[in-house]
């Protein structure tokens, strides 16, 4: 399977694998509210198994969305890029965000980072992370090697001693 095809499957897998309730979509003029303790976290296909997510708003495979992610200390999402602009809001923990040709940024609880569309970056959770990931269009993921060429999630994650999550079987 080529890398572009796999990236498309990862995008599609986000919707199929992450729990999406009717409340996550919003109900017009009705308030939506939920607490972390009530969330049903699930593996996100193509991302490391050391992180899980729960859709809070929107549909990651179709358009803008917000995902609540729970990521274990030491978890690395190696060099990659997304089509949408990605906004990270760290609720708890400590993380390092690096962008190619930029200075690393250490996020602490309450921290925010905006990563422009198609800019290569990586994320390392240093102390158990709970964070919101906001995407302004359909969420996709493209891992890259040192030369910037696309590689499969398996190749990218093996290099950092991680394993890619897979969609749950039906």
Asked if 11 contacts 61 with a C-beta cutoff of 8 angstroms, the reply is yes
- Whether domain 3-21+38-159 has CATH 3.40.1400.10: no
Q: How far apart are CA 4 and CA 19, in angstroms?
A: 25
CB atoms within 10 A of CB 71: 24
Residues 6 or more apart whose CB falls under 8 angstroms from that of 28 comprise none
Give the pLDDT mean for 112-124: 97
What's the mean pLDDT in 32-47? 90
Q: What is the pLDDT of residue 100?
A: 94
Please compute the mean of the pLDDT values over residues 24-33 and round it to a whole number.
70
pLDDT, residue 168, reads 66
DSSP state of 153: H
**Do the Cβ atoms of 139 and 8 come closer than 8 Å?**
no
- Confidence grade of residue 163 (pLDDT, cut at 50, 70, 90): confident
The string of pLDDT tens digits covering residues 83-96 is 999 999 999 999 99
Contact 141, 84 (CB under 8 A): no
Claim: this prediction has a pTM higher than 0.95: no
Inter-residue contact 41 to 74 (CB < 8 Å): no
């Amino acid at each position: 399977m080529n890398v572009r095809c796999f990236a498309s499957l990862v995008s599609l897998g986000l919707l199929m694998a992450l729990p999406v309730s009717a409340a996550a979509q919003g109900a017009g003029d009705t308030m939506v509210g939920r607490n972390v303790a009530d969330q049903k976290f699930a593996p996100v296909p193509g991302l490391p198994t050391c992180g899980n997510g729960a859709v809070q708003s929107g549909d990651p495979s179709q358009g803008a969305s917000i995902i609540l992610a729970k990521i274990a200390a030491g978890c690395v999402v190696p060099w990659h890029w997304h089509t949408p602009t990605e906004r990270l809001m760290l609720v708890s923990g400590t993380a390092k965000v690096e962008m190619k040709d930029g200075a690393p940024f250490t996020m602490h609880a309450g921290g925010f980072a905006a990563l422009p569309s198609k800019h290569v970056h990586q994320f390392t959770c240093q102390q158990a992370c709970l964070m919101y990931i906001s995407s302004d269009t359909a969420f996709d993921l493209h891992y890259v090697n040192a030369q910037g060429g696309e590689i499969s999630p398996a190749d990218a994650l093996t290099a950092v001693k991680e394993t890619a999550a897979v969609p749950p079987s039906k």
